[in-house]
Amino acid sequence: MKAEDIHSAYFVGAGGIGMSAIERYFLSKGIAVGGYDRTPSELTEKLRQEGADIHYEDNTGLIPAACLDAAHTLVVYTPAIPADHTELTYFREHGFTVQKRAEVLGTLTRAAKGLCVAGTHGKTTTSAMTAHILHQSPVGCNAFLGGITKNYGTNYLLSATSPYVVIEADEFDRSFHHLRPYASVITATDPDHLDIYGTEEAYLDSFRHYSSLIQPGGALVIHRNLKMHEDLQPGVRRYDYSRDEGDFHAENLCIGHGRITFDLASPLGNIEGIELGVPVSINVENGIAAMALAQLAGVGPDDIRAAMKSYAGVDRRFDFRIKNERHVLLSDYAHHPAELRQSILSVREVFGGRKLTGIFQPHLYTRTRDFYKEFAESLSLLDEVILLDIYPARELPIEGVTSRLIYDLLRPGIEKRLCHKEELPGIVGREDFDVLMVLGAGDVDNYMDELAAIIDSKN
């Protein structure tokens, strides 16, 4: 379907964070937007206020009339939608153009210069930083992000003139194979989604194939310590990065008193006096990768320096709700063992000897089954662990797979307990925590407002 033929767009799974950015793109173009999601949320309600016609029952009778013209309606769906979904089946059987979200993003990266960020973890923060740097500079950008940016209150940025589009490249279901980046960062390749890939080798090979999709004349900026082997087309420049070494790295790094500063060493021009707006140590590497993409897009050093300091973060990524001498409360989306490890160590580095408690909600039965030993190892870096039930998302239970698999392997002597998420307000009300991290990609974040109010009442 040609862009000029799209008069309406319908989204099956309209409440997904990545889907919502595309919905906002079509709304900004004056295209009628409708959609289905299983449950209402703050995000779907905002989309409705912005003009999207969204409902919450799998019922073809509720599809808005504007989205029933097969010749002029693009249907977009996420891989999490079951194959027997009634509405999706209707669209397929009646001649509609039906595409995955990633296919739509792929079209955009062909029409513009895609600055894409891939990796098991770090991609949302790195892509949001990149978008913020470009948006705050004369270069500008469009952006489709996997989280709500605190600077803008949205996951979508629009520019009428910039040739660049910043996209978070998702490896789930090999979605990123639809993209054609101009330049890409690869942050990490720790195995994940083994329910899709089966083996670590297949997972790594998907990143190798992704690297081959970078357009000639473009660039790859890859973390220095990855196992994968890239497969670059002729004319693609290759750079590596890390915190302490590589083509792009930090020098004169200073962490303390709630601040992180450093100088960027770069083959495209060093930049002195970088200060992180969100001062956690993992953001040193995320920032280095984002600044590398920004330099490749032609952003100058003064604009980069100012944007890094003003970057305010993304919801649920090192999202500090309370930070004072008595209590710290933050939420982080970490849901893979390597992410958990980096998140915990980053907070430990900033807050020194303070007692660190983590509330963790495992995400997916398959991920827990595949990595429960690694989860226990990462969580054992905490002083205290509160483990919740597994958040199933798209999955059915697997016999014998519960949070107790992780619980039983936590290091001896650690304070630990199992509980249901509904018990959290009572626990936080009765006990006095020092630094409390709420971790996971499920729905535990829904309790953050209540937990913050309880802790605030103790100050």
Give dist(CA 369, CA 360) in Å, integer.
16
Give the residue from 171, 21, 169, 122 showing the smallest Cα distance to 333. Answer: 122
The domain spanning residue 54 has which CATH number?
3.40.50.720
User: Encoding tokens for residue 327?
Assistant: 């209590």
The pLDDT, as a whole number, for residue 110 is: 85
Using an 8 Å Cβ cutoff, are 43 and 20 in contact? Answer: yes
Note whether 172 and 242 are same-domain residues.
yes
Using an 8 Å Cβ cutoff, are 120 and 336 in contact? Answer: yes
Using an 8 Å Cβ cutoff, are 47 and 14 in contact? Answer: yes
For the segment 42-84, what is each residue's pLDDT rounded down to a tens digit? 899 999 999 999 999 999 999 999 999 999 999 999 877 888 9
Note whether 236 and 280 are same-domain residues.
yes
Give the residue from 150, 153, 187, 151 showing the smallest Cα distance to 168. Answer: 187
Last residue of a domain, one of 99, 130, 152: 99
* Residues in CB range of 390: below 8 A, 6 or more apart: 361, 362, 363, 364, 365, 368, 401, 402, 403
Q: Look at residue 113 and give its three-state secondary structure.
A: strand
The domain spanning residue 296 has which CATH number?
3.40.1190.10
Note whether 306 and 323 are same-domain residues.
no
User: Encoding tokens for residue 259?
Assistant: 């601040």
Tell whether 48 is covered by a domain: yes
The pLDDT, as a whole number, for residue 237 is: 98
Tell whether 104 is covered by a domain: no
The pLDDT, as a whole number, for residue 410 is: 97
Note whether 172 and 293 are same-domain residues.
yes
User: Encoding tokens for residue 397?
Assistant: 């239970």
The pLDDT, as a whole number, for residue 319 is: 86
The 8-class DSSP code of residue 443 comes to S
For the segment 149-186, what is each residue's pLDDT rounded down to a tens digit? 999 988 899 898 999 999 999 888 888 999 999 999 99
User: Encoding tokens for residue 445?
Assistant: 């974040």
CB atoms within 10 A of CB 38: 13
The domain spanning residue 323 has which CATH number?
3.90.190.20
Note whether 290 and 323 are same-domain residues.
no
Tell whether 369 is covered by a domain: yes
Using an 8 Å Cβ cutoff, are 101 and 26 in contact? Answer: no
Last residue of a domain, one of 250, 277, 310: 310
* Residues in CB range of 368: below 8 A, 6 or more apart: 362, 375, 390, 401, 402, 403, 405, 406
Stretches where the chain sits below pLDDT 70 are none
Query: What are the backbone dihedrals phi and psi of residue 96, each rounded to the nearest 5 degrees, phi first?
Result: -75, 155
Tell whether 107 is covered by a domain: no
Domain tally for the chain?
3
* Residues in CB range of 292: below 8 A, 6 or more apart: 185, 221, 239, 241, 248, 266, 268
Note whether 182 and 277 are same-domain residues.
yes
H or E element that contains 259: strand 259-265
Note whether 117 and 92 are same-domain residues.
no
**Widest Cα–Cα separation across the chain:** 64
Tell whether 52 is covered by a domain: yes
Give the residue from 290, 266, 296 showing the smallest Cα distance to 276. Answer: 290
Give dist(CA 229, CA 208) in Å, integer.
6
The residue count of the chain comes to 459
CB atoms within 10 A of CB 381: 18
Range of the domain at 336: 319-456
Note whether 243 and 193 are same-domain residues.
yes
Using an 8 Å Cβ cutoff, are 113 and 140 in contact? Answer: no
The 8-class DSSP code of residue 5 comes to G
Tell whether 84 is covered by a domain: yes
Last residue of a domain, one of 255, 278, 310: 310
Give dist(CA 321, CA 456) in Å, integer.
10
137-165 as b/e: b if 16+ CB within 10 A: bebbbbbbbbbbbbbbebbbbebeebebb
Note whether 293 and 342 are same-domain residues.
no
Tell whether 106 is covered by a domain: no
Note whether 279 and 137 are same-domain residues.
yes
Tell whether 105 is covered by a domain: no
Note whether 214 and 247 are same-domain residues.
yes
Note whether 301 and 338 are same-domain residues.
no
